[in-house]
Chain A
Amino acid sequence: MAIDTHECECEKRESLFVPREARILHTHAPTSTEKHFTLQFVDGSPLKFQPGQILEVGVMGYGEIPIGIASSPTRTNTFEIVVRTVGRVSTAINSKSIGDSLWVRGPLGHGFDVEALRGNDVLIVAGGIGICPTRSLIQYIADQRDDFGRFVLFYGARDPLQLLFPEDRGVWRATHGIEYHETVDRADVSWTGNVGVITTLFRNTQLSAETRVIICGPPVMFEFVIRELDQAGIKRENIYVDLERRMKCGVGKCGHCQINDKYCCIDGPVFTYAEIHELEEAI
């Protein structure tokens, strides 16, 4: 076994696992189960990150969970997250309000390769809470709109009450230069828009084969969306998927997030479809 175990280039002899304190500057609750936080590190330092990277966010005494960053690095030294109440830790986070602290590690992992997207047509397909981590990229593109080609955004949710970011959606809809389409699986009386799963939005949209595509949503969504993209002739290298796995460490050690021989936390959560389509545990 030819392994060299005695050299170490890293100077920082610090724990990877000790979180930093971030103060809650603003909150609001767009749905009955989600809470949107604006945060700032107590020491005033900015969070430097790429759209699509993740944080481990926690409440001491309850634990920490992986959460996508929902704002763009092009904006101020605050950052935003949206947390859905699911279990123990997310409930503890969502019980916090303005002035309270959350404990944060990160940014972790690889985000979207914005340089590879620059100059190209971009389609974002976001299902459910998948809109949160992609919002960092949506804002990023919107803020540097001239650097990108055509920008199409598909957003789908279970029903109208689950649609997040009402103000943003108003802006996206009204912004010349963003082709925004939304859909719900089940409509209510007030809904006049498209009804049906997210793939129904492909019917009325022509895509060039060179479009760069970002997919983020529940595991079941990927297969169907990729089928549509295949039909549009979009290459696997140009499709980016944002995957979700159980995570504990976020730094490639604890083993929980492994997808065959890749780690969602350090090799992802954003992968190109070319990288993972042969990994049987991926999708």
Chain B
Amino acid sequence: MPVFFTEAADFGPFVDSLVRASRVVGPIAKRQKFVFGEVHSAQELRLDYDVTLLPPKKVFFPPKQAIASFDADRVDGEIVPIETVLLGVHPYDVRGIDMTDFLYREGNADWNYLAQREATTIVASCVQNVAPRAFWASMADGNQPQGHDAFLTQIEGGYVYETRTPAGEALLAHGNFREATADHIAAAGRANADALAQCQSQLPYSSAQIAATVRESFGDNAMWDVLAKDCFSCGSCNIVCPTCYCFDMRDTWNLDQKSGNRTRYWDACMTREFAAISMPGGGHENFRETHQERFRHRFMRKGAYLNEKLGGLACTGCGRCSAACTADIADPVKVINAIMEWS
């Protein structure tokens, strides 16, 4: 696909034109941090962000998503995708989207996710500032992120826009683009390589090595006790993760007490009740009773079970969980390196 260039001065009008044409979601500032939110004008868009609090999966898999509405004796499905341009997604987050695309599509296809996914055009962007806990440079395993329609890199004087799909190409009509020169393309290549070089933490093992060793470590209770010792079972590491996709389903009533919604909510396998079942007479049985078991399950999923299915760790290296964990024990680099080196 061809590569284009737009002058710095033309970039704002491009974004503003997109905003007039459809819903645009992108990185915006929230106090000292960044979030993916609705962009109302080019001024709000912050492509210089390091990482957002929550990953962009929330566009397709919202923290709270109505599945069905009901009223007296009828139930209606609620698949209502909104045409959206998702702008400024970092490559590691595109990889997270690749994984959830696969996982929601395999077996029973989940159209409550996929319909919004298909209605969304994704413009990925170069990382200008690397978050302190990020380690995506060592997670790429040589593979390029796929699920995006165009890729944007800021270089001196403007932006390089690489189209990947016809949907990405269609957005060009909103701006003043010309074909990029060899110099522009080389500058974009350097900018992206620089970002990779800034990632500090490293995970120096292949995903196949990690899958095998993590799986084998299942019964190493002493090790899991040490690794999980300070866990509060708060679930924050799940909630901020771009590759976590577990959910709960609950019904809620409207004020009339006759109609309401069946809704799905993000859920977290690290929480105590996640695998608990109720027994008659008020008893409970919990299939993952201790926080060690739940901590282990998180790493079995990311490091072994989903890794084997996806052909790469179910971790993008975004570093959100490391930053979110009060006890500072969730960091996959520390945990996986510890598992690999445990003896």
- A281, B287: Cβ atoms under 8 Å? yes
Size band of the interface chain A makes with B: 35 or more
- A60, B280: Cβ atoms under 8 Å? no
- B141, A261: Cβ atoms under 8 Å? no
| Contact string against B for A residues 231-259, beta-carbon threshold 8 Å, 1 for contact and 0 otherwise | 00000000000001110110111111011
Could you say which residues of chain A place their CB within 8 Å of the CB of B212?
Answer: none
- A3, B311: Cβ atoms under 8 Å? yes
- A116 close to B (CB within 8 Å): no
A281 touches which of B247, B288, B312 (Cβ 8 Å)? B288
- B114 close to A (CB within 8 Å): yes
Given known contacts A1-B98, A8-B114, A246-B287, A254 and B310 CB-to-CB distance under 8 angstroms: no
- A2, B143: Cβ atoms under 8 Å? yes
Chain A nearest CB, measured from B29 CB (Å):
30
Alpha-carbon distance A17/B260, docked complex (angstroms): 15
Alpha-carbon distance A3/B102, docked complex (angstroms): 7
- B305 close to A (CB within 8 Å): yes
Within 8 A of B (CB), among A80-100: 84-87
Alpha-carbon distance A101/B74, docked complex (angstroms): 11
Residue of B nearest to A158 (CB): B280
Could you say which residues of chain B place their CB within 8 Å of the CB of A182?
Answer: none
Alpha-carbon distance A103/B67, docked complex (angstroms): 14
Residue of A nearest to B306 (CB): A261
- A175 close to B (CB within 8 Å): no
Residue of A nearest to B246 (CB): A255
Alpha-carbon distance A17/B68, docked complex (angstroms): 8
- B232 close to A (CB within 8 Å): no
- B274 close to A (CB within 8 Å): yes
Given known contacts A1-B143, A254-B267, A246 and B275 CB-to-CB distance under 8 angstroms: yes
| Contact string against B for A residues 4-39, beta-carbon threshold 8 Å, 1 for contact and 0 otherwise | 111010101111111101000000000001000000
Could you say which residues of chain B place their CB within 8 Å of the CB of A85?
Answer: 280
Chain A nearest CB, measured from B60 CB (Å):
12
- The winner among B147, B278, B308, B310 for most chain A CB atoms within 10 A is B278
Show 23 A/B contacts (Cβ-Cβ < 8 Å), sorted by A.
Answer: A2-B311, A6-B147, A13-B79, A14-B77, A14-B79, A16-B110, A17-B77, A17-B249, A18-B76, A33-B280, A61-B70, A63-B262, A64-B249, A86-B279, A218-B279, A245-B277, A245-B287, A246-B275, A253-B103, A253-B247, A256-B248, A266-B108, A281-B288
Which 10 residue pairs are nearest across A and B when measured between Cβ atoms? A1-B312, A255-B246, A5-B101, A261-B305, A60-B70, A251-B108, A18-B77, A10-B109, A15-B77, A1-B143
